[in-house]
């Protein structure tokens, strides 16, 4: 059976932050219709796949999944359990934002099947939170983490963003120091990315906001890696750090190039060498599902060369490139062509090799995209 991850998109949100480019809506008009349609989509894909896949993780993203009732999430989990075979102790993650849950609601999410929570804090600095147009303050963020822990969740992740406009190293260090004191075991630390179509992008184009340069971004990133390591958060992907035993199974499924099925608006799936994606509009999603049983608006079958490129990229972004596995799947040609470049990377401490595993060093992670572009 193929180990497979499942992603479920919950697009409902009470507020759209200035930097967010994920599909979300602030209307709850189609909340119940969406639930019914989601369950129909799950059944549609399970009809041909239920006996071939073992589900290793379920991830509820958004939007803000924690805005909906725990029973809503519970119904989706039950639908997946009824239609697929779940691995014992399957990781089931709920994205949440501070201010959207209390201890009692978290307890109900646990009863529904949630065993991991990812909290979108982004910053503990009040001025930065206001700039990002987050709905919470520092105190609410801290309280949310402790509420999740006290409710019974032991697997807790938080998101933080660095290189915000006017963010000094001291401010970022303060954010990290606050995080390290919390009862968490996973941190996703992202550099602020300017995405087309966002409010932030328009603010930059209009000259209202000035972003910091790439050199400063790289400096903060290397500082982040150092601080994480000192505090026992080991880097296992470009932007992700965890204590031992708490790597995110769902995210690793992407980086290990496993199959994943995604349900809901704007959801992207990858299985059996094929990638496909759903329409973003919620109303169109429901209409298409009712008319033809799926909401796919695009697909591509990957060539062997494309799969090789993606395999290399994801492995190096993640836990490392296993040369033995690479040879078994794709042969030796890539290694032979890129041997000289790999030797240069090793010599300059951008990568390290141990037990036939090529892994980026902190120095290499800092220029990961540049390194990947230079492979042939």
Residue matched to tokens 């001025």: 127
Tokens of 78: 């039950």
| pLDDT band (50, 70, 90) for residue 206 | confident
pLDDT digits (tens, 9 = 90+) for 239-297: 999 999 999 999 999 999 999 999 999 999 999 999 999 999 999 999 999 999 999 99
Query: Tokens 């704007």 sit at which residue?
Result: 266
Query: Residue 367 burial by CB count (10 A; 0-12/13-18/19+): exposed, middle or buried?
Result: middle
* Domain definitions of the chain by residue range: 2-255, 304-373
Hey, what CATH class is 304-373 in? mainly alpha
Task: With beta carbons less than 8 A apart as the criterion, state whether 162 and 192 touch.
Answer: yes
Residues 29-84 have pLDDT tens digits of 899 999 999 999 999 998 876 568 999 999 999 888 999 999 999 999 999 999 99
Pick the more confident residue, 196 or 154.
154
Kindly report the pTM of this predicted structure: 0.93
CA 151 from chain centre, in angstroms, equals 24
What average pLDDT does this structure show over 103-110? 97
Distance CA 119, CA 62 (A): 12
DSSP state of 207: T
Say which CATH class 2-255 falls into.
alpha beta
H helix count then E strand count, the chain: 15, 15
């Amino acid at each position: 059976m193929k180990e497979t991850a499942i992603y479920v998109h919950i697009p409902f949100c009470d507020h759209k932050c200035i930097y967010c480019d994920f599909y979300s809506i602030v209307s709850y008009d189609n909340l119940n219709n969406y639930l019914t349609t989601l369950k129909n989509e799950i059944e549609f894909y399970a009809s041909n796949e239920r006996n071939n896949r073992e589900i290793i993780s379920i991830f509820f993203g958004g939007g803000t999944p924690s805005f909906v009732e725990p029973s809503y999430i519970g119904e989706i989990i039950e639908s997946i359990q009824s239609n697929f075979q779940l691995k014992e102790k399957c990781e089931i993650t709920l994205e949440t934002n501070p201010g959207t849950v209390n201890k009692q609601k978290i307890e109900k999410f646990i009863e529904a099947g949630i065993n991991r929570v990812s909290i979108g804090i982004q910053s503990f600095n009040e001025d930065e939170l206001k700039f990002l147009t987050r709905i919470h303050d520092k105190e609410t963020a801290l309280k949310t983490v402790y509420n999740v822990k006290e409710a019974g969740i032991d697997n807790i992740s938080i998101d933080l963003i660095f290189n915000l406009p006017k963010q000094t190293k001291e401010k970022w260090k303060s954010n990290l120091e606050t995080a390290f004191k919390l009862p968490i075991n996973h941190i996703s630390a992202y550099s602020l990315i300017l995405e087309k179509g966002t409010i932030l992008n328009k603010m930059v184009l209009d000259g209202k906001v000035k972003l910091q340069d790439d050199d400063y971004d790289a400096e903060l990133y290397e500082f982040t890696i150092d601080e994480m390591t000192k505090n026992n958060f080991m880097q296992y992907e470009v932007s992700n750090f965890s204590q031992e035993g708490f790597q995110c199974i769902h995210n690793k499924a992407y980086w290990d190039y496993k199959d994943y099925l995604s349900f809901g608006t704007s959801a992207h799936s990858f299985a059996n060498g094929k990638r496909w994606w759903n329409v973003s509009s919620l109303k169109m999603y429901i209409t298409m599902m009712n008319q033809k049983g799926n909401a796919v608006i695009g697909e591509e079958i990957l060539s062997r060369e494309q799969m090789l490129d993606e395999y290399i990229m994801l492995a190096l972004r993640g836990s490392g490139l296993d040369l033995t596995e690479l040879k078994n799947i794709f042969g030796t040609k890539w290694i032979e062509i890129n041997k000289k470049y790999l030797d240069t990377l090793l010599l300059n401490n951008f990568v390290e090799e141990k037990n036939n595993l090529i892994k980026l060093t902190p120095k290499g992670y800092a220029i990961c995209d540049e390194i990947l572009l230079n492979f042939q």
